[in-house]
Amino acid sequence: MSAATHAAPARAARAALNLPYTHVDDIFINGAWTAARGTGRNPVTDPATGELWGSVPDGAPEDVDAAVGSARKAFDGGDWPRLAPSERAAYLVRIAEEVEKRADELSLTNTRENGSPVSESAGAAANAAGIFRYFATLADYLEREDVRAFPKGGGESVVRREPIGVCALIAPWNFPINLVVIKLAPALLAGCTVVIKPASPTPLSLRVIIDAVAAAGVPAGVVNLVTGSGRLGDALVKHPEVAKVAFTGSTPVGRKIAAACGELLRPVTLELGGKSSAIVLPDADLDAMSKVLIRSSMRNTGQTCYISTRILAPASRYEEVVDMVTSTIAAGKQGDPLDPDTVFGPCATESQYRTVLEYVESGLAEGARATTGGRAASLGGGLEGGYFVEPTVFADVTPDMRISREEIFGPVICILKYNDAGGNADEAVELANNTEFGLGGLVFGADPEVALAVADRMDTGSVGINFFASNHAAPFGGRHDSGLGTEYGVEGLNAYLSYKSIHRKV
């Protein structure tokens, strides 16, 4: 059975939306949209149709200099770092309100840029607003006096938390809005100024966030935006006036950024790739698991860093798990991401489409069994040029296969078998930890204490029990090849602070 369904004719529906072609020539510097100095163009393609629908400037090094210079001036001589944290928090709340006003525009732009179904992108504004509001609640943490006595007495230290400086925020293409906002919100509350560089396939949705920031009255120079290719990001990372880098993206690019920041002794937060596992315990409720499977293991057409794309099933229930996963994925509608009923959209770029198909072919060549999908999807109705791969489930996967070891970042799930004789999950934990990554993970089981004990043994930054979701108040970060540092929570705020201890006698 194939998960790819015949798309309803999409051409007429898209024409009715009167989707505009968006050509812009400016970047955001010092509180204003300003003509870019770079003369190149960064095209924007709709991955559902393969059609070019917009373009932005491919910035030059001079654009980076201007943006960083604006942020540096605002940090050194502007009011922003000198406001009380509660005053900055009030701006964050206003930004949240402005973002919510732009929910429809954000959703449509996001979907046209990377093919995220509107059922996914429709929640982007609310989630972004929630992140701004959460970090606003941490103003009291920054304002609270922190005085620590010397252990042997005779003195005390006043600990100051100060903004680290100009921050480079570099975004990925899979969640271009919220994966910037989880950097932007804590940086702003801390008192930092920023330069944002979106991924080249998704440069337009961040302009909506910038408009919200400007409408909220954030002072000029505090937030700046440049657009362009990877070389622009490299120039930003290495700029001498940047004090901190935060990046979400692939592990290979993250390694290069880490190397550059290490040479410069520059703090860096890296949220990178993943190859997470869902351990299905012998007593798991498979009906309940089926209800959260897509969000947990194939969210955003599999283009989500933390999802558990490896299902580790007990030998005693292996075929039962395979049948459930197969039927659940096969039932999800694939089609036009602008259709609210679509569950699976296209791969975000032509390059990613080809990469995913290469992995699918390697899985078949190495002996995995495709129980649904396993090929490119042919969707008519105006979507013939789109980058669609059928949502694919592979059974009979072994740990040595490429599809089991490497991050695919597309609509592909692998199901591996573990020996559960006597109800033992030791082999499952060993399989889950036998990876270079360590970002997400899941445990499905009926006994909460047993599930928690298994989760404790998983070598990864986040684990869900019977569901997975990010908590704005809890740290999120990866281990090993999944990155450095954390985002969310007070820990995410601390990444944008520099500490000073003032010692005095008492």
The superfamily (CATH) of domain 14-272+482-502 is Aldehyde Dehydrogenase; Chain A, domain 1 (3.40.605.10)
Q: What is the pLDDT of residue 347?
A: 98
Q: Backbone dihedral region of 380: left (phi > 0), alpha (psi from -120 to 50 degrees) or beta?
A: beta
Q: What is the pLDDT of residue 6?
A: 41
- Residues 6 or more apart whose Cβ sits within 8 Å of residue 131: 178, 181, 182, 185, 472
Q: What is the pLDDT of residue 7?
A: 42
Q: Is 271 a catalytic residue?
A: yes
Record the tokens describing residue 344, joined without a space: 């699976």
Record the tokens describing residue 406, joined without a space: 């490497």
Inter-CA distances, 479 with 78, 461, 495, Å: 37, 6, 16
Q: What are the backbone dihedrals phi and psi of residue 171, each rounded to the nearest 5 degrees, phi first?
A: -100, 155
Q: Within a 13 Å sphere around the CA of 146, how many CA atoms are in the beta-carbon half?
A: 12
Distance CA 122, CA 118 (A): 5
Q: Is 414 a catalytic residue?
A: no
Residue ranges per domain, the chain?
14-272+482-502, 277-473
| Class level of CATH domain 277-473 | alpha beta
State the catalytic residue, choosing from 192, 261, 305, 414.
305
Longest Cα–Cα distance in the chain: 79
Q: What is the pLDDT of residue 10?
A: 66
Amino acid in position 498: S
Residues 232/168, Cβ–Cβ less than 8 Å: no
Q: What is the pLDDT of residue 172?
A: 96
Query: Which residues of the chain are modeled with pLDDT < 70?
Result: 1-12
Q: What is the pLDDT of residue 2?
A: 39
State the catalytic residue, choosing from 120, 271, 390, 407.
271
Record the tokens describing residue 380, joined without a space: 């008519």
Q: What are the backbone dihedrals phi and psi of residue 21, each rounded to the nearest 5 degrees, phi first?
A: -85, 130
Residues 429/458, Cβ–Cβ less than 8 Å: yes
